[in-house]
């Protein structure tokens, strides 16, 4: 059974004159299962973010449709949360107050709110930084706050748009491991957009390989590697080589 269905999705951007028409996405079709960690992998400019925005309801496709839980997506849903590469934190609010913000919008009572925030801070290892402002945090910590703010509303689907792309490699690897623990513990569905092949193999149950613009799905690969995955193993390297061939890199 599929949780998310992408059906014949096209996206056409039109400029001031006819010749400026540009297809960002061209006949994209695939399904995502409940609880799956699904990676969308492709080069910059291939339409990955556009596809994610359509799935999240921020943009509308020119043709085709997205079905989530049996209903067509017509706009954003509080059950489906996006974590962006840019942290989007309120610089004047503390870590705790940033995380609290969605709960205030939902008018969560104080007792429940306090309990949820404490749990989330522990989950992302930020309990000791609750009263710090974003200016006092590293990039990795800021992304933890953004992730915590997404998780605090208990989403069914977590859309992630290259959330670790701006981080150094060591921080990225650490956050990927923490994300996998959270995903496994919370049993949510994750759609993770990336241009990093190592990240896609480390994280994904399946990987959708996208072509350069206009974005098409060239192949969808199963990642049949036991977690935690060893990036130095022969199996990891063999899958990486297979993906490089998909991008005509040999």
pLDDT reported for residue 17 = 53
What's the rounded mean pLDDT across residues 220-244? 95
Task: Match domain 1-79+155-218 to its CATH number in 3.40.50.300, 3.30.930.10, 3.40.120.10, 3.30.1360.70.
Answer: 3.40.50.300
Instruction: Give the pLDDT band of residue 250 (cuts 50, 70, 90).
Output: low
Q: Domain map of the chain by residue range?
A: 1-79+155-218, 89-152
pTM of the complete model: 0.93
| Burial degree of 44 (CB within 10 A; 0-12, 13-18, 19+) | exposed
Q: Which residue has the tokens 């994300």?
A: 179
Quote the CA–CA distance of 201 and 190 in Å, as a whole number. Answer: 14
Omega prior to 222 cis, within 30 of 0: no
Is the predicted pLDDT of residue 107 greater than 90, yes or no? no
């Amino acid at each position: 059974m599929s949780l998310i269905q992408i059906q014949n999705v096209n996206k056409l951007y039109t400029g001031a004159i006819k010749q400026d028409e540009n297809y960002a996405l061209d006949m994209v079709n695939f399904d995502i299962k409940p609880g799956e960690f699904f990676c969308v992998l492709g080069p910059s400019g291939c339409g990955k973010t556009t596809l994610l925005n359509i799935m999240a309801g921020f943009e509308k496709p020119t043709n085709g449709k997205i079905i989530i839980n049996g209903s067509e997506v017509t706009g954003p849903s509080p059950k489906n949360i996006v974590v962006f590469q840019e942290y989007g934190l309120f610089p004047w609010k503390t870590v705790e107050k940033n995380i609290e913000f969605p709960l205030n919008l939902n008018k969560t009572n104080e007792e429940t709110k306090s309990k949820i925030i404490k749990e989330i801070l522990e989950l992302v290892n930020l309990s000791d930084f609750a009263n710090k402002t974003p200016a006092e945090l590293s990039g990795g910590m800021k992304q933890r706050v953004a992730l915590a703010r997404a998780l605090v509303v208990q989403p069914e689907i977590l859309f992630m748009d290259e959330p670790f792309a701006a981080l150094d490699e060591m921080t990225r690897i650490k956050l990927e491991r923490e994300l996998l623990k959270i995903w496994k513990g919370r049993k949510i569905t994750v759609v993770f957009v990336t241009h990093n092949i190592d990240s896609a193999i480390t994280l994904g149950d399946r990987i959708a390989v996208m072509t350069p613009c206009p974005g098409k799905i060239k192949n969808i690969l199963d990642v049949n590697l036991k977690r935690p995955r060893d990036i130095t193993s022969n199996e990891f390297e063999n899958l990486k080589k297979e993906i490089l061939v998909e991008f005509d890199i040999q």
